[in-house]
Chains A and B, each alone.
Chain A
Amino acid sequence: MRLLLSSLFVAVVAASCIQHTTQEEQESEKFRPQKQIEIKYAEGFEVEYTADYTKIVTHSIQNNEFFRDSVYIQHTSSAKLDGLKKIPFTLSSVASQSTTHLAFLDCLHELETVKGLCGVKYIRNDSVSSILEKNEIKELCLTESVQIESLLDCNPELFFNYPFGKTEQKGFAENGVQTLYIAEYLEQTQLARLEWIKLFGLLFNKVEEANAYFERVEDNYLSLRQKSQSTNKKFIMNLPFGDSWFMPSSKSVGVEVIRDAGLDYYYQREEGTENQIHTQEQVWNDGIYADYWVIIADRPVGYGLEDLLAEKEVYAEFKAVKEQQVIMCNIAEVDYFASGVVEPDVLLRDMLFHTHQISDHQPKYFFRLE
């Protein structure tokens, strides 16, 4: 009797351990990402999780021209995704229309997957260049538009592109190239822009790495911002093209990071999200009083204060020039538009250093012109 009861108990326990999963459910288990992503700042993408697939949607934000795009990561073979853009669980070959996307891929150590790129010659980061050279990466944009033959030759599983030139998009689909609009540049804060790394983490099945990277940089950024103090000092930005001075919008991320360092933007009251065009004379008029002049521009390597003064005599009258407070990010020398996107904490640290709020820091992007 005891033997019978013991056998019965073992049978019940064993039965409770049997998993009544179907093959599809097992696939689902196999394909489901390790961790879901939580979106805190970014407004331009969202993720929808189901048992059968993960849907990634990118879309326009606020008043920008409308667009909406999506791709599906299929978990089970039963998922009904006919006619939709399906991508593998982890991408092994991609192409990109922007060098900025490379920064995200570099953080996730996925540069080897990049087979084609627009603007190979504009890559400023030597380590990125060398990896891409080993990949024998193809230039996709010999002209302003994407060369479809080069793109087909790369045969990427997914092509990251911009949400403008929508007619091109149709051409890609007709040729069997799967695309996804990436519009991180539309985000209005540094952290929102950085948060797109989570989307790339999802695409490359590296959610945990992406989350960890984001959280680390976010922590750094927020704690630096907390440390910064209002300096009551004003700043102007950039350099003119001809007679037009394109002053960044007060809502731009470039302005945000300087403001977070405790400086006040001279054109803070101006509305809109686009760059504001000012005449040179207006900026000259204000430059006389601005405490700091922060320049993000493309100038020859080794560009200094003397070179700046050679451009216009009036600059010698600027307060920032007189007090040696011209801070420059020369994009010919540093990778501001790519790695700067994934290192907002370093950008902020640079600015805090130049405004004498921290010491013992080696600037990476912004340097004082001397």
Chain B
Amino acid sequence: MVHMGVRVQTEDFDVGAEITAMRLSSANIGAVVSFVGQVRDLNDGDNVDSMFLEHYPGMTEKALAEIIAQVKVRWSITDALIVHRVGELKPQDQIVLVLVATAHRQEAFEACECIMDHLKTDAPFWKKEQTQHGLRWVEAKTSDEDARHRWKSTT
């Protein structure tokens, strides 16, 4: 059974429950790799009290589904899931979950990292932080572009 799902939600997610559901969906699965992103309390030297995540409803889901579709072409994937939260978040809140299930671990590790690198540059999310100096939009990092591009050279 192939799920290949994306979810954009304000609610928190249960990593354990998501892994169990994916793991048990097929006996062909030999490896599940997970990535969990967490909101930090420090960014660019300033304390972050909270952040707000804006997104582009409609495009966000499409962009995430396309990222999974691209990764599927490159690696043999049994299942993949992206859950991304939006709205108000606090330090140590979970913000993003990526799960990849494959027969063997190497493909799951690589595909999971590739999904995150593409999510960072291609999915329409924007973070606005509340710091001790007030509200500010988070600036995109060129290192994220570099991380995404390294997957191109070996395609």
Do A and B share a complex? no
